[in-house]
A and B are shown apart, each in its own frame.
Chain A
Amino acid sequence: MLEVKNVHAFYGRAHILHGVSLDAAAGEVVALLGRNGAGKSTAMKAIMGLVPPSQGEVVFEGRRIERLPPYRIARLGLGYVPEERRIFTDLTVMENLEVGRQSAREGVSGWTEDKLFALFPNLSEMRSRPGGRMSGGEQQMLTIARTLMGNPRCVLLDEPSEGLAPIIVEQMANSIRALKREGLTVLLSEQNLHFSQAVADRAYIIEKGQIRFGGTMAELASDVSLREQYLSV
């Protein structure tokens, strides 16, 4: 479904990604773990074309996409949920969803507002509320719902649990499992190991812009030294 091969990326002159390679098979939930500043968000942005890779390949459903502008990548069926949420604060919930709308594509069950409200019941009660007057958790739901309106086959979730109350984190985990049941592929970046263990099939660990580990959640769970070296604060 998604394959990243030896990707390098720069912010201005700062070399952030030093040859990142990872992949996600169709229907899989894959976690990209790492500390602050390890390169998780940049890896997501590089895949999405927001920080165009200087070197390396990104292959999505057999197509090279590393030279495409973000909107073309999105239209191919790759959805992006940014870390800072980036809700359109002046727009209502319905309008935020409208901006994300793309026509349905083959082989994907088309998302509608009603279907999304079933997945995120909180949102259905605030359809005409401006995005700026929602709580962090509600905004996080909205930003995922907004991306789903584009009917993606694969979603990049950048730190979906960050800054959320424990109960909301639990809801978020349920939502991600629901996405998996819908057949979506999910690549999520996380610092929260417990959250990842609750939703992901496999994990990668990134540190200083390089992948240090790749394997199943069970392998990661059994390796204490690995966790201490790259994940503990």
Chain B
Amino acid sequence: MTLSSILIQLLNGLASASSLFLVSAGLSLIFGVTRIVNFAHGSLYMLGLYGAYTLIEVLGRTPLGFWSAVVLAALAVGIAGVLIEVLVLRRVYRAPELFQLLATFAVVLVIKDIALFAWGPEDLVGPRAPGFDTAVEILGKRIPSYDLLLIAIGPVVLAVLWLLLTRTRWGALVRAATQDREMVGALGVDQAKLFTSVFFAGAVLAGLGGALQIPREPANLDLDLAIIADAFVITVVGGLGSIGGAFLAAILIGVAKAFCIGIGTVDWFGLEISFSKLTLVVEFLIMALVLVVRPYGLLGKPQAVQRIAAEPSPPLTAPTWKMALVWMAVLVAVPLVADRYVTILLTDIVCFALFAVSLHFIMGPAGMVSFGHAAYFGLGAYAAGLLFKQAGLPMEAALLLAPLCAGAFAIVYGWFCVRLSGVYLAMLTLAFAQISWSIVFQWDSFTGGSNGVLGIWPSAWLADKTTYYYLALACCGLGIAFLWRVLFSPFGFTLRAGRDSPLRAEAIGIDLRGVQWAAFVLVGALAGLAGAVYAFSKGSISPSAISIAQSTDGLIMVLLGGVETLTGPIVGAAIFTWLRDEVARRTEFWRAVMGGVILVIVLLFPQGLVGGLKALALRWQEQRA
């Protein structure tokens, strides 16, 4: 590489870093004060791009039109943020944190469909910025002047934010609330107003980050989850709640990505390394590295202890044999009376039920929330497909070995993850899922790249859909029964002890990390089993099985059913899978419908469906007594 090409990549990276910084700073601000991991933040960024596109069309492609469009789009997104806060999140601040997360997932779904309805499925390419549509020559290379402008905007916004936070009363309140919001309330500050203002500020930053990208990037519907992954990585690498850290991390990651694209394929000692393929992975590698060395990010501090004491999780009750047998009998009998379509749907449901139960095991009793559980589901599915296609193993052998492969990945990923806790842990699981996804997505010669692995059908004796359903029911049913059994073994008690009181658990001689690691591997293997069964039922597997969307689907299933009951995840998986299927057949806007349903449930049953129904049943019994 020559000096000038290094400079080009550097400037390129810095230009992308600006938008990343704006989005991440907003996310960090919102998380700091409200403690909500706002998954909808990427959606706000996406709205910024779409909004700017439309407003420029309306206001004209003049400098005045362009810049007022950018500002207005950012403000409009700020108002959208306020609406989300006031209409949805304010109502669930007292609900468990995970339920707030579920609410933001629902908002993601709704916004995606609003964008689809308003702007259509096509990518929208915005105009170049009037006045900044030329290139500047530096060291013989041409650099778009707009990039240089973006590079300048980053530090300017950082300075403005810094002044706001350190020189105004609002800033003092925000920083105080980040540390102890209950105390701020006891001093007479209306938290609701403070939260709304913080949401507005955070949303404006996301919207501005998006609007400024319109000359560089077409507006499209996949931006929401793509940017949220980047923003999570940056806030975590920088340290949650640290605006300066976010700036540093945005530059680090923006530049690293640009260099990976710029370097291209390099031949090192006969080994061909494609750096451009590393682009999708590099930020997650940086994140994994940073978190191992500095568990609270570059400039972060250990998270303030939560003042609002959450109710401890109630003890789990084991399902009775009688109930289990009744349900098994029903599930075995259904294909005898129902048609082929129902059988296929049921096969999906049992696969996702095991997936959801394994996720529940790790986030409920083990207390480690995973944002990337699809990694093990997808890796299990791919392992099954590849062992069958590439290694030529019989289907039965591939199905049995696949969970072991997923478990093997969980051994590696889990080793890193159990060293962290809380949001940092959740983000690292997301990082590993994204690393897996990008490897699978890009390794065309082995995994089939974006096409996936095709033609993986079960053996002849299982070819009939009903027979395969029974196999799936047996595999997943046994998997679920096994996980539940483990929960009531000494190992399960140890896990729950470690979740409720980590210090005391260690003080009585429990190797907490070891126990958590083992749990991680166990659920990884069983999620892999679910994936393998799923792959053979579909006959193909694609990278979407490892995507963030697949991970959030799992979270929705668990949270919808309720994380405090064992049967909740199964009910959640069944309802989610069935509903998605039903709604998707009727309307193009199935996401909005799903999101709406989830929001209604979140607002009506803050304990999840099964928990809410149990509470209702209890009240009914009390009234009768």
Contact = CB atoms under 8 A, between A and B. Distances in A.
Given A11-B309, A12-B309, A82-B183, A91 B189 contact: no
Interface in B161-194: 169, 172-173, 175-176, 178-180, 182-191
The interface centre, meaning the residue of B180, B182, B186 with most chain A CB atoms within 10 A of its CB, is B186
A160 B169 CA distance: 27
B332 to A, nearest CB: 41
A136 interface: no
A5 interface: no
A50 interface: yes
Contacts of A89: 179
B312 interface: yes
Given A12-B309, A50-B182, A98-B169, A90 B175 contact: yes
A91 to B, nearest CB: 6
Nearest to B190: A71
A227 to B, nearest CB: 32
A82 B307 CA distance: 13
B187 A98 contact: no
A150 B311 contact: no
A99 interface: yes
A70 interface: yes
A99 B185 contact: no
Contact of B188 (A50, A75, A95): A75
B185 A88 contact: no
Contacts of A2: none
A88 B186 contact: no
Given A86-B180, A88-B179, A95-B172, A74 B188 contact: yes
A77 B309 CA distance: 26
A146 interface: yes
B450 to A, nearest CB: 46
Contacts of A99: 172-173, 176, 184, 187, 189
Nearest to B189: A71
B186 A50 contact: yes
Interface in A37-71: 48, 50, 69-71
Q: Which of A70, A82, A101, A102 has the most CB of B within 10 A?
A: A70
Contacts of A100: 187-188
A62 B311 CA distance: 34
A189 interface: no
A206 to B, nearest CB: 21
Interface in A69-109: 69-71, 74-75, 80, 82, 86, 88-91, 95-96, 98-102
Interface string A142-155: 00001100100000
B176 A70 contact: no
Contacts of B311: 12
B309 A71 contact: no
Contacts of A80: 186-187
Q: Which of B178, B180, B183 has the most CB of A within 10 A?
A: B183
A88 B178 CA distance: 9
A90 B187 contact: no
The size bracket of the interface on B is 20 to 34
B309 A88 contact: no
Contact of B172 (A50, A70, A86, A98): A98
Residue with the highest number of chain B CB atoms closer than 10 Å, among A11, A50, A147: A50
A91 B188 contact: no
Interface in A8-60: 11-12, 48, 50
B189 A88 contact: no
Contacts of B178: 90
Nearest to B166: A95
Contacts of A146: 187
A71 B312 contact: no
B175 A88 contact: yes
A71 B179 contact: no
A86 B169 contact: no
A49 to B, nearest CB: 8
Nearest to A152: B188
Interface string B189-202: 11100000000000
B172 A71 contact: no
A153 to B, nearest CB: 13
Given A12-B311, A12-B312, A98-B169, A69 B185 contact: yes
A100 B183 CA distance: 10
A163 to B, nearest CB: 18
Nearest to B184: A99
Contact of B185 (A12, A71, A147): A71
B304 to A, nearest CB: 9
A228 B173 CA distance: 45
Given A90-B175, A98-B172, A99-B172, A70 B186 contact: yes
Max chain B CB contacts within 10 Å: which of A48, A82, A98, A99?
A99
B186 A48 contact: yes
A178 B88 CA distance: 47
A96 B185 CA distance: 14
B190 A86 contact: no
- Identify the interface centre among B175, B185, B190: most chain A CB within 10 Å of its CB: B185
Contacts of B173: 99
A96 B190 CA distance: 17
Contacts of B176: 88, 91, 95-96, 99
A50 B308 CA distance: 9
Contacts of B180: 86, 88
Contacts of B309: 11-12
A19 to B, nearest CB: 23
A147 B172 contact: no
Contact of A147 (B187, B190, B191): B187
A100 B176 CA distance: 10
Interface in A88-143: 88-91, 95-96, 98-102
Interface string B301-336: 000000001011000000000000000000000000
Contacts of B185: 69-71, 74
Interface in B185-244: 185-191
A95 B179 CA distance: 13
Nearest to A82: B183
A91 B312 contact: no
A61 to B, nearest CB: 16
Contacts of A71: 185-191
A70 to B, nearest CB: 5
Contacts of B172: 91, 95, 98-99
A91 B172 CA distance: 7
Given A12-B311, A91-B172, A99-B172, A86 B188 contact: no
Most chain A CB within 10 A, of B172, B190, B309, is at B172
A142 to B, nearest CB: 13
Interface of A: 11-12, 48, 50, 69-71, 74-75, 80, 82, 86, 88-91, 95-96, 98-102, 146-147, 150
23 contacts: A11-B309, A12-B309, A12-B312, A50-B186, A70-B185, A71-B187, A71-B190, A74-B185, A74-B188, A80-B186, A86-B183, A88-B175, A88-B176, A88-B183, A90-B175, A90-B179, A91-B172, A91-B175, A98-B169, A98-B172, A100-B187, A146-B187, A147-B187
Which 8 pairs between the two chains have the least Cβ-Cβ distance? A74-B188, A88-B176, A95-B172, A86-B183, A99-B176, A70-B185, A70-B186, A71-B185
Given A86-B183, A147-B187, 20 more contacts: A11-B309, A50-B182, A50-B186, A70-B186, A71-B186, A71-B187, A71-B189, A74-B188, A75-B188, A80-B186, A80-B187, A82-B186, A90-B175, A90-B179, A91-B179, A99-B172, A99-B173, A99-B176, A99-B187, A100-B187
